[in-house]
């Protein structure tokens, strides 16, 4: 009897052990991926891009998508209006959101802190939609330029998160099956081939190789990315897929607005609307997009203000020049303000930045992108500064100092000149010193000084004539 009982217990224990080794079936995939919303970048500005993004979210709701991956570039300039429009759109989504930051969301430590405050962690691991997602902040992981500490900490996180999945392949005999693993990053590790050179579109070769090595060890199913504003799928030599979606702001390859839906082991590209409107651009310089034919209240408002200030400076130059029988600093200010008015519509700063980008791409020297723009701005600033210094020296020799009205007028040109210089060097870094709203407030303050100073010139000249 005891023998039969022992055999029965042994059989029962073997049955329980076998059941324990059998993993529960992995749920089918159920999530979607879209590209850059980048509110504020594209035809229609904030309102146009927010409307297209909201249309995309509405279709996702209709299809019952429960998990949504957005790999970066949530907004263009990080100002309060863009964040408000994005938050308003996201509230309409019924899906769980998995967000990653892009190069327009994070440009320095302060914008990184702002991103974390608004949207949560910038890198993390999450189980959702039948898969495991390792979300990466490409802006602090691809190089240590932004922050050495953030670079070290994120790579320590990546090695922990991905190496946990490394090791021997799952045993089919034991029935152990890991859920698919996806890496989410804004900038793809490479655009076409693993051995391509560094550019602003990819990861530098050293961190690219390091990332792909971890992906191979962890058996990553696919890498999901944005940034390129086009839709494409490429693969590593051993078959790791890199899928890029164009988004709803701008699509350089005329891809329709849509998303990739992962459902029950299949990937389906769902087109929601025609491609976003293409802004007016210069041939072979597709990122130089003058706003002349794309209405923006801010740009037209500052165009009118700069043009009005330029006209007032011209009047002041005529009044004071007629009395002194020579041109004065009001003439210079008039030319500068007229240039700023044109720049609000034609975006010369964007053109300089695009020239640097094209030369960097042609030569393969990534540093040229910002270096050339910086050199052009430095040469121009040096020339203007030298002429201004010579003019002041000549006035001193003639016993004439800088008048208050002239000083205020020239001071009113400092902020827009600084904006132009920084924007020409790098559009992405324009908010590193101040938020765009602060730039606008300082510019308005300078223009008020110009208006006050120039309107005082004619009465002062007339008073001097009467005294004579």
What domains, with CATH codes, occur in the chain?
26-273 (3.60.21.10), 291-467 (no CATH)
- 385 or 108, which is more confident: 108
**Pair 46, 85: CB distance under 8 Å:** yes
Distance CA 186, CA 73 (A): 7
Distance CA 430, CA 159 (A): 33
Pairing of strands 241-244, 232-235: antiparallel
Helix (H, G, I), strand (E, B) or coil at 263: strand
Angle between helices 404-411 and 297-324 (to 10 degrees): 150
Pairing of strands 266-273, 257-263: antiparallel
Distance CA 165, CA 71 (A): 22
Mean pLDDT, range 7-19, rounded to an integer: 50
pTM for the structure as a whole: 0.79
Helix (H, G, I), strand (E, B) or coil at 38: coil
**Pair 306, 299: CB distance under 8 Å:** no
How confident is the model at residue 369, as a pLDDT?
Answer: 62
Which range is least confidently modeled, 110-119, 266-275, 279-288, 382-391? Answer: 382-391
How confident is the model at residue 238, as a pLDDT?
Answer: 87
How confident is the model at residue 38, as a pLDDT?
Answer: 95
* 47-61 pLDDT per residue, tens: 999 999 999 999 999
- Reported as a pLDDT band with limits 50, 70 and 90, residue 430 is low
* 315-354 pLDDT per residue, tens: 888 876 644 444 577 888 899 999 999 999 988 888 888 8
- Does residue 78 register a pLDDT over 90? no
Buried b (16+ CB within 10 A) or exposed e, 232-241: bebebeeebe
Pairing of strands 131-135, 124-128: antiparallel
- 389 or 7, which is more confident: 389
**Pair 96, 125: CB distance under 8 Å:** no
How confident is the model at residue 453, as a pLDDT?
Answer: 87
Q: State how far the alpha carbon of 64 is from the alpha carbons of 68, 96, 264, in Å.
A: 11, 11, 14
Question: At CB < 8 A and 24+ separation, what contacts does 168-174 make?
Answer: 169/219, 174/21, 174/22, 174/23
How confident is the model at residue 342, as a pLDDT?
Answer: 94
How confident is the model at residue 107, as a pLDDT?
Answer: 87
Helix (H, G, I), strand (E, B) or coil at 26: coil
- Does residue 155 register a pLDDT over 90? yes
- Rounded to 5°, angle at Cα 46 from 45 and 49: 80
Eight-state DSSP code of residue 170: P
- Does residue 180 register a pLDDT over 70? yes
Phi, psi dihedrals of residue 243, rounded to the nearest 5°: -105, 125
- 167 or 164, which is more confident: 164
Distance CA 339, CA 332 (A): 11
Helix (H, G, I), strand (E, B) or coil at 184: strand
Mean per-residue pLDDT of the chain: 82
Phi, psi dihedrals of residue 411, rounded to the nearest 5°: -65, -35
Question: What's the token pair of residue 211?
Answer: 């990332």
User: Percent of the chain having pLDDT more than 90?
Assistant: 46
Question: What's the token pair of residue 105?
Answer: 């969301």
**Pair 183, 176: CB distance under 8 Å:** no
CA 421, 427, 432, 435 dihedral sign is positive
């Amino acid at each position: 009897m005891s023998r039969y009982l022992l055999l029965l217990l042994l059989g029962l224990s073997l049955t329980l052990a076998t059941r324990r080794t059998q993993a529960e079936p992995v749920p089918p995939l159920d999530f979607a991926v879209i590209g850059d919303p980048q509110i504020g970048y594209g035809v229609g500005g904030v309102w146009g891009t927010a409307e297209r993004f909201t249309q995309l979210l509405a279709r996702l709701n209709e299809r019952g998508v429960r998990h949504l991956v957005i790999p970066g570039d949530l907004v263009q300039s990080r100002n309060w209006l863009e964040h408000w429009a994005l938050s308003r759109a996201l509230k309409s989504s019924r899906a769980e959101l998995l967000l990653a930051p892009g190069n327009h969301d994070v440009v320095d430590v302060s914008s990184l802190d702002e991103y974390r405050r608004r949207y949560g962690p910038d890198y993390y691991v999450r189980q959702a939609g039948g898969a495991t997602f390792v979300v990466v902040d490409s802006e602090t992981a691809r190089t240590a330029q932004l922050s050495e500490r953030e670079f070290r900490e994120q790579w320590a996180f990546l090695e922990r998160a991905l190496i946990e999945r490394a090791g021997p392949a799952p045993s089919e005999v034991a029935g152990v099956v890991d859920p698919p693993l996806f890496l989410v990053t804004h900038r793809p590790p490479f655009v076409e081939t693993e051995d391509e050179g560094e550019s602003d579109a990819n990861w530098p070769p050293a961190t690219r190789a390091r990332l792909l090595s971890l992906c191979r060890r962890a058996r990553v199913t696919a890498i999901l990315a944005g940034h390129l504003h086009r839709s494409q799928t490429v693969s590593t030599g051993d078959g790791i897929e890199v899928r890029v979606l164009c988004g709803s702001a701008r699509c350089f390859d005329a891809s329709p607005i849509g998303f990739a839906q992962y459902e029950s082991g299949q990937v389906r590209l769902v087109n929601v609307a025609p491609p976003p409107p293409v802004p007016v651009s210069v041939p072979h310089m597709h990122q130089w997009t003058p706003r002349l034919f794309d209405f923006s209240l801010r740009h037209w408002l500052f165009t009118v203000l700069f043009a009005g200030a330029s006209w007032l400076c011209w009047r002041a130059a005529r009044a004071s020049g007629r009395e002194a029988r020579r041109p004065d600093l009001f003439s210079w200010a008039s030319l500068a303000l007229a240039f700023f008015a044109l720049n609000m519509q034609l975006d010369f700063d964007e053109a300089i930045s695009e020239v640097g980008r094209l030369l960097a791409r042609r030569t393969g020297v990534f540093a040229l992108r910002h270096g050339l723009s910086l050199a052009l701005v430095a040469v121009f600033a040096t020339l203007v500064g030298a002429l201004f210094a010579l003019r002041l020296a000549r006035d001193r020799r003639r016993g004439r100092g800088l008048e208050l009205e002239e000083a205020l007028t020239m001071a009113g040109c400092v902020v827009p000149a600084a904006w132009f210089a920084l924007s020409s060097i790098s559009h992405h870094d324009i908010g590193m010193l101040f938020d765009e709203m602060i730039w606008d407030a300082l510019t308005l303050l300078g223009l008020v000084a110009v208006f006050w100073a120039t309107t005082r010139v004619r009465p002062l000249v007339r008073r001097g004539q009467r005294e004579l």
